[in-house]
């Protein structure tokens, strides 16, 4: 049976050849276990010690071993970190030695889960740590570190404080006769109420920006056969992601590839294009193209000549004419490029990013469905407030607070914690 008091360990780095690999332990047996497999016998708090890991008396590897005494560690428990050499054989051998000590492997995110339970982190900070580990682009990293530094916690604390004040004022109206209250109270309450609704509303709107920053923008490449769609996706990726030939209809399925452009994630989708089909394979390919183009943030339409009007039914088009190296003919309102010489590609990528990128304002950015759902529920409760029925208003403000607090609530939500931590790495 797995228990929260078990001492756990994990390889926190990847199991593949590298200069260094790091093992972590957490729990009250950490200290005795590390002593039992080490050449050194004394480990001081937060001091890294040059230490041999031993099997019996045999030296297995030379490591740097660091001990953290509870409560001053990541998890709040006694912890040990071993930085050993990063070969697969060293990793396997040290794992084998540790497992003989009857401590168990950590589950996904179990170190961070313990940090949360021991009040080392808030739930929002724990989620931000996972976002930081998974950040692929500069803007994803910026949001994650901002949230880890407390941007979201500060926002929730501030709104909670304001909402509690509003509730107290509303309750004062219920409890006291009108003559005992200042005249300005009613006006003041309405102002506070509006201000809270505005702040939550803005946070919900901003979550659309962060959603895009995390998921990336989808750009579908369409156009007639042989217009240079696949050559373009290969050029910007600097590798052969899609097959290129001079036979029209080479691409039949969707080929997807993501790129980081100026700190944002863009997913380009090469397609069969939209055209007449000759067989069932092409028919399915074209259906997939249409589906992808309809759900895209932007479509790059590669033109053969100047057939822009064929694409009027689609929104968000940028028109492109490739092969400029072959024929130096320019069309108006069209980006002229070459996937051979690279002519015009940078200008096209700039135009894409300018068209899609929303102005990034400063935090907080709620990025998860769970946060946004709670904010929406909180706002819906507030929207039910009618100050003419003051008892009901108080009830709705209380409900709004429950949803708000739910964003950072770590207790009574085991199932939510399991979902959150299931997509953490083992060893974090
Ligand atoms: N000179 C030159 N040739 C290009 C350029 N882009 C593509 N071509 C050539 O044009 C032909 C078709 O290119 P693709 O990239 O396969 O065109 P596509 O639009 O993906 O074609 P389908 O997959 O058939 O729809 C190939 O022979 C390419 O080498 C370019 O910028 N300059
Ligand atoms: Mg193609």
What average pLDDT does this structure show over 88-113?
A: 95
Q: Is the dihedral of CA 11, 12, 14, 20 positive or negative?
A: negative
pLDDT at 416 over 80: no
Residue range 98-126: average pLDDT? 93
Residues contacting residue 61 through CB under 8 Å, at least 6 positions apart: 52, 53, 84, 85, 90, 93, 94
Q: What pLDDT does residue 87 have?
A: 97
> Which residue among 232, 234, 244, 248 is best mutated to probe the pocket of ligand 1, counting the most ligand atoms within 8 A of its Cβ?
244
Q: Which of 134-143, 178-187, 207-216 has the lowest mean pLDDT?
A: 178-187
Find the mean pLDDT for residues 144-166. 93
What pLDDT is recorded for position 5? 86
Ligand 1 mean position, distance from CA 357 (Å):
29
217-356: CATH class: alpha beta
CB of 321 within 6 A of ligand 1: the answer is: no
Could you give the percent of the chain with pLDDT greater than 90? 73
Counting from 1 in the atom list of ligand 1, the atom nearest the Cα of 272 is: 25
Structure tokens at 395: 């009830």
Name the CATH superfamily for 8-119. Probable tRNA modification gtpase trme; domain 1 (3.30.1360.120)
Distance 270 CA to ligand 2 centre (A): 7
- The pLDDT of residue 278 is 87
Among the ranges given (31-45, 207-221, 296-310, 398-412), the one the predictor scored with the smallest mean pLDDT: 398-412
Q: What is the pLDDT of residue 414?
A: 57
pLDDT value, residue 395 = 94
Question: Looking at 96-100, 234-238, 323-327, 385-389, which range is the least confident one?
Answer: 385-389
E-strand spans in 174-241?
217-223
Q: Residue 417 has what pLDDT?
A: 63
pLDDT for 420 = 65
Pocket of ligand 1 contains residue 339 by CB under 6 Å: yes
Q: How far is the CA of 233 from the centre of ligand 2 (A)?
A: 9
Ligand 1 in reach of 231 Cβ (< 6 A): yes
229 lines ligand 1 (CB under 6 A): yes
Is residue 209 within 8 Å of 360, Cβ to Cβ? yes
pLDDT tens for 23-64 read: 999 999 999 999 999 999 999 999 999 999 999 999 999 999
Query: Binning pLDDT at 50, 70 and 90, where does residue 364 land?
Result: confident
Confidence at 390, pLDDT banded by 50, 70, 90 = confident
Confidence (pLDDT) at 184: 81
pLDDT at 325 over 70: yes
239: confidence class by pLDDT, cuts 50, 70, 90: very high
- Ligand 1 pocket member 274 (CB < 6 A): no
Helix H, strand E, coil C: the string for the chain is CCCCCCCEEEECCCCCCEEEEEEEEECCCHHHHHHHCECCCCCCECCEEEEEEEECCEEEEEEEEEEECCCCCCCCCCEEEEEEEECHHHHHHHHHHHHCCCCEECCECHHHHHHHHCCCCCHHHHHHHHHHHHCCCHHHHHHHHHHHCCHHHHHHHHHHHHHHHHHHHHHHHHHCCHHHCCCCHHHHHHHHHHHHHHHHHHHHHHHHHHHHHHHCEEEEEEECCCCCHHHHHHHHHCCCCCCCCCCCCCCCCCEEEEEEECCEEEEEEECCCCCCCCCHHHHHHHHHHHHHHHCCCEEEEECCCCCHHHHCCCCCEEEEECCCCCCCCCCCCCEECCCCCCCCHHHHHHHHHHHHCCCCCCCCCCCCHHHHHHHHHHHHHHHCCCCCCHHHHHHHHHHHHHHHHHCCCCCCCHHHHHHHHHCCCECC
Residue 358: how many CB atoms within 10 A of its CB?
Answer: 10
Regarding the beta carbon of 325 and ligand 1, being less than 6 Å apart is answered yes
Q: Could you tell me if the CB of 230 is within 6 A of ligand 1?
A: yes
216 lines ligand 1 (CB under 6 A): no
User: Looking at per-residue confidence, does 143 or 185 come out higher?
Assistant: 143
Do 207 and 372 touch, CB atoms closer than 8 A?
yes
Using a 6 Å cutoff on CB, does residue 30 contact ligand 1? no
Which residues touch 194 (CB under 8 Å, ≥6 apart)?
Answer: none
Radius of gyration of the chain (CA): 29
What is the tens place of the pLDDT at every residue in 397-414?
A: 999 999 999 998 876 545
184 lines ligand 1 (CB under 6 A): no
Q: Could you tell me if 408 and 122 are in contact, meaning their C-beta atoms sit under 8 angstroms apart?
A: yes
> How high does pLDDT run on average in the chain?
91
- Residue ranges of domains in the chain: 8-119, 128-213+368-409, 217-356
At 182, list the tokens.
């200042």
Looking at all shown ligands, the one closest to residue 225's CA atom is 1
The arithmetic mean of pLDDT across residues 253-269, rounded, is 93
Q: What confidence score (pLDDT) does residue 232 get?
A: 98
Ligand 1 touching residue 252 (CB < 6 A): no
Cβ–Cβ < 8 Å for 34, 54? no
| Shortest-distance Cα residue to atom 6 of ligand 1 | 228
* pLDDT recorded at residue 54: 97
Residue 182 clears pLDDT 90, i.e. is over it: no
Q: Is 195 left (phi over 0), alpha (psi -120 to 50) or beta?
A: alpha
pLDDT at 179: 65
Give nearest CA residue, ligand 1 atom 30.
323
| Alpha carbon of 341 to ligand 2 centroid (Å) | 18
Give yes or no for residue 419 having a pLDDT over 80.
Answer: no
Instruction: For domain 128-213+368-409, give the CATH number.
Output: 1.20.120.430
Instruction: Give the residue, by CA position, lying nearest to ligand 1 atom 32.
Output: 323
């Amino acid at each position: 049976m797995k228990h929260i008091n078990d001492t756990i360990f994990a390889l926190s780095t990847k199991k593949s050849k590298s200069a260094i690999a790091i093992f972590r332990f957490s729990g009250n047996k950490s200290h005795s276990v590390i002593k039992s497999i080490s050449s050194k016998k004394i480990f001081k708090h937060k001091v890294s010690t040059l230490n041999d890991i031993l099997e019996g008396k045999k030296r297995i590897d030379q490591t740097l071993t660091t001990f953290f005494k509870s409560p001053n560690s990541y998890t709040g428990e006694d912890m040990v970190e071993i930085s050993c050499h990063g070969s697969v054989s060293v990793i396997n051998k040290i794992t084998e030695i540790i497992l003989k000590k009857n401590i168990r492997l950590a589950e996904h995110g179990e170190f961070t889960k313990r940090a949360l339970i021991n009040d080392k982190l808030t739930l929002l900070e724990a989620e931000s740590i996972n976002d930081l580990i998974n950040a692929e682009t500069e803007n994803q990293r910026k949001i994650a570190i901002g949230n880890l530094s407390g941007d979201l916690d500060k926002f929730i604390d501030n709104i909670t404080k304001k909402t509690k004040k509003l509730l107290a004022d509303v309750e004062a109206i219920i409890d006291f006769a009108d003559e005992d209250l200042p005249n300005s109270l009613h006006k003041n309450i309405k102002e506070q109420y509006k201000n809270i609704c505005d702040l939550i509303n803005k946070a919900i709107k901003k979550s659309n920006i962060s959603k895009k920053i995390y998921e990336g923008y989808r750009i579908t490449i369409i156009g007639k056969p042989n217009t240079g769609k696949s050559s373009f996706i290969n050029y910007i990726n600097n590798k052969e992601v899609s097959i290129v030939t001079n036979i029209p209809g080479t691409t039949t399925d969707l080929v997807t590839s993501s790129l980081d452009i100026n700190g944002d994630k863009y997913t380009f989708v090469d397609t069969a294009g939209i055209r007449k089909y000759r067989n069932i394979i092409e028919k399915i390919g074209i259906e997939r193209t249409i589906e992808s183009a309809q759900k895209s943030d932007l479509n790059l339409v590669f033109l053969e000549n100047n057939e822009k009007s064929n694409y009027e039914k689609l929104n968000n088009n940028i028109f492109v004419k490739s092969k400029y190296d072959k024929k130096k003919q320019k069309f108006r309102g069209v980006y002229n490029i070459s996937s051979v010489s690279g002519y015009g590609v940078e200008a096209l990528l700039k135009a894409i990013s300018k068209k899609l990128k929303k102005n990034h304002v400063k935090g907080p950015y709620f990025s998860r469905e769970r946060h946004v759902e709670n904010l929406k529920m909180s706002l819906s409760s507030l929207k039910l407030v009618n100050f003419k029925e003051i008892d009901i208003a108080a009830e709705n403000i209380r409900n709004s607070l429950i949803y708000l607090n739910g964003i950072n609530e770590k207790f009574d939500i085991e199932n939510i914690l399991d979902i959150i931590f299931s997509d953490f790495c083992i060893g974090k």
